[in-house]
């Protein structure tokens, strides 16, 4: 995987997503440019294609249920644009090392309370996914193999247990963070170096030009 720092990786992902989200409707040529950039992003980060396909596919099924009632022409553009955004952000999340979301988040120019909420949400999501993994292994040990068996196991009795276990563990983790001196500020330095700033400005200007051109061409 290409050496890209976590803060720069997150900021580049957000620039691509925001740029494609503000495209003028039905500007397919500009959307295809963002599609090519998204595929390049997947290649640069060396994203596991199988995991990416499963994650994006599930998200796209949900989005299609929302978009299809808007009409085929509008829904197709929205779905392709959503697909590009999902590929970019899923690529970032799938290549993010465990417990490092805060490092990536530190470099964003957003208010501290919002940054803290995002950080805690990311940590709680990691805890939830960890508990889901434990429950899946527990179900397999009980002979419930396959998606159908796992779903029956989860839907029958374990949803409430999953919520309680996740909540209890999240409280323990937050208590441990406070004990170690956490006060809403991450004790790390994640400022971008001059080369990274140049890369960020270049990509930002490129994305701005692609998006603005969709309104004038």
Q: What confidence category does residue 16 fall into, taking pLDDT thresholds of 50, 70 and 90?
A: very high
Residue 94: what pLDDT? 84
Q: Is the predicted pLDDT of residue 79 greater than 70, yes or no?
A: yes
Report which DSSP code applies to 154: I
**According to the model, what pLDDT value does residue 185 have?**
66
Give me the percent of the chain exceeding a pLDDT of 70: 81
Q: Which of 41-50, 181-190, 203-212 is least confident? A: 181-190
pLDDT confidence bin for 203, thresholds 50/70/90 = very high
Residues whose CB falls within 8 Å of the CB of residue 87, separated by 6 or more in sequence, listed in order: 38, 39, 41, 42, 52, 56
CB atoms within 10 A of CB 79: 16
* Rounded to 5°, angle at Cα 123 from 197 and 201: 10
In whole angstroms, give the CA distance from residue 75 to residue 68. 5
DSSP secondary structure letter of residue 24: P
Taking only the tens place, the pLDDT of each residue in 118-174 is 777 777 777 766 776 777 777 677 776 655 555 555 555 566 676 777 777 777 877
18-68 confidence digits (pLDDT tens): 999 899 888 889 999 999 999 999 999 888 888 788 777 777 777 777 777
Query: Residue by residue, what is the 3-state secondary structure of 57-111?
Result: HHHHHHHHHHHHHHCHHHHHHHHHHHHHHHHHHHHHHHCCCCCCHHHHHCCCCCC
pLDDT of residue 208: 92
pLDDT for the residue 73: 78
Cα separation, 182 vs 214, whole angstroms: 45
CB within 8 Å of 136: residues ≥ 6 apart: 150
């Amino acid at each position: 995987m290409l050496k890209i720092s976590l803060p720069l990786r997150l900021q580049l992902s957000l620039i691509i997503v925001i740029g494609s989200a503000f495209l003028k409707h039905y500007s397919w040529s500009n959307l295809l440019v963002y599609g090519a950039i998204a595929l390049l992003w997947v290649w640069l980060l060396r994203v596991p294609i199988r995991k990416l396909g499963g994650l994006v596919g599930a998200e796209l099924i949900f989005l299609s249920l929302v978009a299809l009632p808007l009409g085929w022409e509008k829904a197709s553009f929205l779905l392709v644009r959503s697909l590009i955004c999902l590929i970019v952000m899923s690529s970032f999340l799938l290549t993010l090392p465990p417990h490092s979301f805060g490092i990536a988040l530190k470099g964003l120019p957003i208010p501290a309370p919002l940054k803290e909420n995002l950080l805690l949400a990311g940590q709680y999501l990691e805890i939830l996914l960890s508990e889901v993994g434990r429950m899946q292994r527990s179900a397999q040990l009980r002979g419930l193999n396959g998606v159908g068996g796992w779903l029956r196991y989860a839907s029958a009795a374990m949803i409430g247990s999953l919520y309680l276990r996740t909540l209890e563990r999240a409280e323990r983790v937050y208590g441990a963070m406070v004990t170690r001196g956490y006060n809403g500020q991450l004790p790390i330095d994640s400022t971008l170096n001059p080369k990274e700033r140049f890369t960020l400005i270049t990509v930002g200007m490129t994305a701005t030009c692609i998006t603005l051109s969709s309104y004038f061409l």
